[in-house]
Amino acid sequence: MRAFEPTMTSQMDIFLRQLLISSENDETINMTTRCQRLAADVVGLLAFGYELNTQTADTNIIIPDAMKANSYRISLYMTWPTIRLMDPVFRWLGRKKTPKWYVLRSMIGRRMSMPRDAAHDLYAVASGDITTSGERGLRGTELWSEASFFIMAGGTTVATLMSAIFFYLSRHADVYTRLADEIRTAFSSGQAIKSGPQLSSCKYLRAVIDETMRVSPPTTATPWREEDIYSATPAPAPSDGSPFLVDGHAIPRGTAVGVSLYSLMHNAAYFPEPFAFRPERWLDADSAFDEATRATMRRALAPFALGDRGCAGKAMAYLETSLAVAKALWYFDFRTAEGPAGRVGGGSPRRGWRGRVDEYQLYDIFTADHDGPNVVFKPRAGAAKSSQEIVDALNFLKR
């Protein structure tokens, strides 16, 4: 990630330029769209050093939508496996979008034609006969499969996290003010915002990220698990000979068991006041909860899953989100859009169990679907005037 950070930062600069252009025109910005394009461009470069340029051009603009459509399809198969027999029909219905996915093949082909160490990307780490860790690398169909998954999962989840953060910041003035003060105090310029001790010292930023992942997990998919039915050696039974039990229920071999991450992280037994957005719960000095409660919350916080199946993109997600949020707050102030547009992303009292107006609404697919928030940005007083870098960046873009 340290080697890749300059490339990621270049995409952040484009993100900032787009925000500045919109702010000059007093435009309302849908952060789902803006964050999805940023995340897609970053993950394309991280995976295969490929410039998708969805933030500035329309050529590959279908990619974020295709990611979402494929996530719906995967979620359907995971929930109802037998329906995958209908896959040819679904593929036919989505045939107009299918050709756009050939950009992935172009990405792989272009990258394979280059020396393995030509870029600091996933291909350099995971491909070849022997990887940098000494293990056999990914080849052939493995590489294609991993690339498809990495592009989709690595792009959509981070976009959801960033969108949700902008939603909660725009609706919690106290959180917004405290985080903005932390960022603007810690860094003397926008260019100074990078990984390192200064960014790590922004404890409230990390608390905001963790609390957002708790209340709005970037993936709503249930992490299904089952005992391996193909294993030649059955899993050992408990010492007393009883069957494998979960909460008093006997689990037959081959049965899939899972817990929704949303349900887990809104369980009041683990998280007091589970529907309240309170980043302070993750700060020992400010938390209203005792050490035992905080320890339980830390153990139950699992937005990246746990164990051997824990998300490999955890470091990327934290870095990308930290940079995007910190830089946006250093350069800009923002607020919720006026009127009906400002309510996009939240719940509605008329929608029953989706009635929490201050909860970012997620829709259950393999990752998560969402819309909004719609916000209006303005250059922070003094930031654009005192820092020539963003003015220069805008002028360069206009040329």
**Could you tell me the CATH number of the domain that includes residue 86?**
1.10.630.10
In a domain, 244, yes or no: no
In a domain, 242, yes or no: no
In a domain, 245, yes or no: no
DSSP-derived letter for residue 359 is: S
Rounded Cα distance between 14 and 376, Å, is 18
In a domain, 197, yes or no: yes
Q: Bridge partners of 376?
A: 335
Give every residue of the chain whose pLDDT is below 50, as ranges: 130, 397
- Encode 283-319: b = buried (16+ Cβ within 10 Å), e = exposed: eeeebebeeeebeebeeebbbbeeeeeebebeebbbb
Tell me if the bond preceding 373 is cis, omega within 30° of 0. Answer: yes
| Number of separate domains in the chain | 1
Confidence (pLDDT) at 29:
96
Confidence (pLDDT) at 229:
58
Rounded Cα distance between 213 and 221, Å, is 14
CA distances from 96 to 62, 77, 153, 252 (A): 11, 21, 22, 43
In a domain, 238, yes or no: no
Structure tokens at 303: 């937005």
Confidence (pLDDT) at 306:
80
In a domain, 98, yes or no: yes
Confidence (pLDDT) at 389:
61
In a domain, 250, yes or no: no
Helices 5-24 + 31-48 axis angle, to 10: 160
| Cα three-residue angle 369-371-373, rounded to 5 degrees | 135
Residue type, 13: D
Helices (H), 240-313: 261-264, 291-300
Q: Helix (H, G, I), strand (E, B), or coil: what is residue 374?
A: strand
Question: Count of CB atoms within 10 A of residue 172's CB?
Answer: 17
In a domain, 251, yes or no: no
Containing 198, the helix (H) or strand (E) segment is: helix 197-200
Confidence (pLDDT) at 267:
95
Residue span of the structural domain in which 78 resides: 5-223+258-398
Confidence (pLDDT) at 283:
93
